A and B are shown apart, each in its own frame.
Chain A
Amino acid sequence: MNSNRSSRRRFLKQTAALAGVATGAGLAVRGQSAQAQHLHGELPRRGARYTIDHMTHYTPLQDYAGIITPASLHFMQQHSSEFPEIDVRQHRLTIHGLVDRPLSFTVEELKQLPSVSRIHFLECHGNSSPAIHGAGDPNLGLPVQFIHGMTSCSEWTGVPLSVLLKEAGLQKEASWLVSEGGDAGKFSHTLPLAKAMEDVIVAYGQNGEPLRVEQGYPVRLVVPGWEAPFSVKYLTHVKVVDQPYMAWNESMNHSVTRPDLRDKARWYHFQFGPKSVVTRPSAGLEMLRGYAQITGLAWSGAGVINKVEVSTDGGGSWKEAKRHAPVLPRAHTRFTFDWAWDGQEAVIQSRCTDEAGEVQPSLAELSKDWGMHLEDWKKTPRPRAIHFNAIQPWKIARDGSISDAMFA
């Protein structure tokens, strides 16, 4: 079985390398799998994983350019594993709880209100999680997609949630909200009122088109810079309350214990820290000698990305990469870096600094912050972690193969 698989791999690897030479590209898809092979030279596809409790789509980060993720490639995670069929004419969004004038809006009415269009990333709190590094399933395509592909960036159009809350008239004790979706499991999540008044959008448009059903048609919350579970899809109810409501999602499902918290759990992870990843070259692709542009994405929940640096010597030295316009707050920022590969072993990686001055941590720095030793990551199964933003090293071997060196 194993030897079969590796000989199939060798065969695919050879043909993939040939394809790369034939097109003159600096990178070729390494023959990881039939699917990876299929991806090369064809339309980028989202990848999907289905389990009994989750359905997940991953954005093919290695294949797209610029900063806007096409809606069809946006990542997605669905809990009750079925898309609700919602009749837009019947759909209502209610604002109630600690308000003077509880109100119910149709989608048409929401569209009549003043709109904003803003470019923001969304990211799953479990994106890049240690558990999925090197998961090694050869049938799942290119690793960067399946390691870091639970983040995407879109232009979202909708009405600011603050407009709706003011229409309803907030009462004095109002301090948090609970929102609920119209999917089968009626996904619910709590949100601090201060954030709702700052920049949260009740979105009905994505990249110029109505939301797709995977993205919460007909309306969803977009909570910029914060972990995506706050951005409730198929939004039906917003209830204004006077304390965090501890829905199952934040208090149980998405909380994680940590050694530095003496094995207590941190709940309510809000904003993402600074994060970047080289999307090309990356594991699963193959290096050819000569000029090779290094490109990737950087983002932070704190705002704008002020600097991206790239190292091609395993973190020994760093040089500033070029950030490409537009560089927007709480949005993906595209960066590039000119490089030439000399055929020697190399480790490439990126790190970013956000407008708050926070620098993306190395795995060692992050481990120290969390009260862990580097060896702890070698345990199987790997420790659970969310909001994992450690610098991602990719290792290039002499034969041009590229692998994930995060825990190597």
Chain B
Amino acid sequence: MPCSLKFLLPAMILAGSVAALAQSQPRVYPGLGTPLSQADIQSFDRMIGPEGKELPPGRGTAKEGAAIFAKRCEICHGKGTNEENGLLRSLVIGSPGKPYRGAFYGEERNGPSYYPYATIAWDYINRAMPPSNPGSLAPNDVYAVVAFLYYWNGIIKENDVMDEKTLPKVVMPNRNGFVPAVPVYPPEKKPSWY
């Protein structure tokens, strides 16, 4: 392998030293707490960041999502289209070219067209919906209902496939609807509670 020990060696030393640095503070209370393996963590980690790095493999389309939505979501959320509402606020509030951006005066702000990142609907539906049996949707089902909701909100096209690669790349229409664009702590503006 010409791809050089020379090159690899310093990299290994560097990686080793960073780890050593972080490890340099030994445990104060060893013996308490059980170490977790990577497999342990994968079995429970369902927190999806904005880049979707943690998304599991899977795929779905709006058409598939429509069928699942009708069976498992419609009773509470209505038909998912703009026309009919269920018991709750509708999940479709934007329309192509006119995404919903939230409101201060009166109107409720809700629905996926408000979300800053495409991964948020995936994370939330996967963890919390339907309320009677959260976690019961398989990854493919979640990709499909998310595709359905984004299609009905005018964010993607009917035949777009949502999977772990395409979903995080969907540009949400309200991405710049938040202040500050990237939350910081402590906030730069005074007073701190504004």
Contacts and interface: CB of A to CB of B under 8 A. Distances in A.
B138 interface: no
Interface stretch (B59-67, B121-129, B146-154, B156-164): B121-129
A398 interface: no
B183 interface: yes
Nearest to B106: A381
A188 B40 CA distance: 19
What 10 A-B pairs have minimum CB-CB distances, sorted nearest first?
A192-B185, A273-B193, A185-B128, A103-B33, A248-B124, A102-B36, A268-B183, A186-B127, A257-B104, A257-B102
Interface string B9-51: 0000000001101110101110011111000110011111110
B187 interface: yes
Contacts of B69: none
9 contacts: A102-B35, A104-B34, A167-B27, A194-B186, A241-B47, A245-B50, A246-B50, A248-B120, A302-B193
Contacts of A342: none
Nearest to B23: A100
Interface of A: 52-53, 79-81, 94-96, 100-105, 109, 112-113, 163, 166-167, 169-172, 178, 180, 184-186, 188, 192, 194-195, 236-237, 239, 241, 243-248, 250-252, 255-259, 261, 263-273, 301-302, 356, 358, 369, 376, 379-385, 387, 389
A273 B191 contact: yes
Given A237-B44, A252-B114, A383 B33 contact: no
Contact of B178 (A96, A255, A301): A255
B192 interface: yes
Contact of B105 (A170, A237, A383): A383
Given A265-B102, A376-B105, A272 B27 contact: no
Interface residue SS majority, chain A: loop
Nearest to A110: B32
A102 B29 contact: no
Contacts of A166: 25, 28
B194 interface: yes
Contacts of B18: 172
A97 B96 CA distance: 38
Contacts of B186: 194, 270
A80 B192 contact: no
Given A169-B25, A239-B45, A246-B117, 18 more contacts: A53-B88, A80-B128, A80-B134, A94-B36, A100-B19, A105-B34, A113-B29, A167-B29, A184-B134, A185-B134, A237-B45, A243-B49, A259-B104, A264-B177, A266-B178, A302-B192, A379-B106, A385-B104
Contact of B120 (A252, A256, A257, A273): A252
A358 B194 CA distance: 11
Nearest to A382: B106
A356 B191 contact: yes
A358 B36 CA distance: 45
B1 interface: no
A251 B33 contact: no
Contacts of A95: 33
Contacts of A369: 194
Given A251-B115, A265-B102, A358 B191 contact: yes
Given A169-B25, A387-B193, A251 B178 contact: yes
A267 B29 CA distance: 37
B193 A271 contact: yes
B87 interface: yes
A247 B123 contact: yes
B8 interface: no
B18 to A, nearest CB: 7
A376 B47 CA distance: 39
B131 interface: yes
Interface in B79-123: 87-88, 101-106, 109-110, 114-117, 120, 123
A231 B109 CA distance: 24
Contacts of B106: 379-384
B5 interface: no
A385 B104 CA distance: 8
Nearest to B193: A273
B3 interface: no
Contacts of B183: 244, 250, 267-268
A125 B45 CA distance: 28
A167 B28 contact: yes
B109 A257 contact: yes
A170 B178 CA distance: 29
A104 B41 CA distance: 10
A52 B77 CA distance: 12
Nearest to B48: A245
Nearest to A274: B193
A45 B161 CA distance: 53
Contact of B32 (A112, A171, A178, A380): A112
B192 A178 contact: no
Contacts of A382: 106
